[in-house]
Structure 1
Amino acid sequence: MNSVYAAMEPSRAEIDSLEGPVVIEFGAPWCGHCRAAQPLIASALSEYPSVRHIKIEDGKGRPLGRSFRVTLWPTLIFLNHGKVIARLVRPADSAVISNALEKLNDTL
């Protein structure tokens, strides 16, 4: 699991061209909901070490978050070869995240 938000976001084209399973986490380091979700995300991702995790610091005017229609944080986007498989907004427990990861794993 990546523990630091990337301040510089990749382009949507770069994200769409990623190979394999990826979880993109949109949020901000000062966001209380994001901080509360970190242990849940870490727990779920520990079961899927082959899934790449990318944390993107989001905010007003950030094009990548807008391209995924992110409005609340954290938002998790589950991708396989650039295709959206699942999305979670403010997940409340690690089981919900694990279920989305299992769905992602089933597409491999």
Structure 2
Amino acid sequence: MSMNIEYAKTAPARAEIDALSGPMVVEFGTDWCGFCRAAQPLIAQAFQDHRAVEHMKIEDGSGRPLGRSFGVKLWPTLVFMLGGKEVARLVRPRDVSEIRDALALIDEPLAQ
């Protein structure tokens, strides 16, 4: 699976995310957030070598229960999960290497 480019307006229940078995990144943010927009090229570049990782992009904001259940306070927040458990978290990533390092914790990169 490749990176999603749009934030989903509706979010799944936390129990659905916790029940997933494979590698996944849940990204919280909004389309109008400058930090979120600045991080998109970095996220896309990191995901090129990790196409097996599911990428769930969730629009977050006040009163949104999924983001609150993950304790999200700043955007973008990327939660790296494996087998329904959080393995790593990045808040406002500024370098592709930190995203790649977190992805490597949940997935093997594609052979070049």
Q: What TM-score do the two structures reach when normalised by structure 1? A: 0.96
Q: How does 1:50-61 map to 2 (within 5 A)?
A: 50-61=52-63
Which AA in structure 2 matches 1:20?
G
- CA deviations 1:9-38 (Å, max 9, x no partner) are 000001101120000000000000000000
Aligned-residue CA RMSD in angstroms? Answer: 0.8
- Matched with 1:7 is 9
CA distance in 1, matches of 2:6, 2:41: 14
Unaligned runs of 5+ in 1: none
Residue 92, structure 1, aligned to residue 99, structure 2: no
Task: Count the aligned residue pairs.
Answer: 106
Which AA in structure 2 matches 1:56?
I
- Sequence identity percentage: 60
- Matched with 1:81 is 83
Q: What TM-score do the two structures reach when normalised by structure 2? A: 0.92
- Matched with 2:23 is 21
Structure 1 runs, 4 residues or longer, greater than 4 Å off: none
Unaligned runs of 5+ in 2: none
Cα drift, residue 104 of structure 1? 1.5
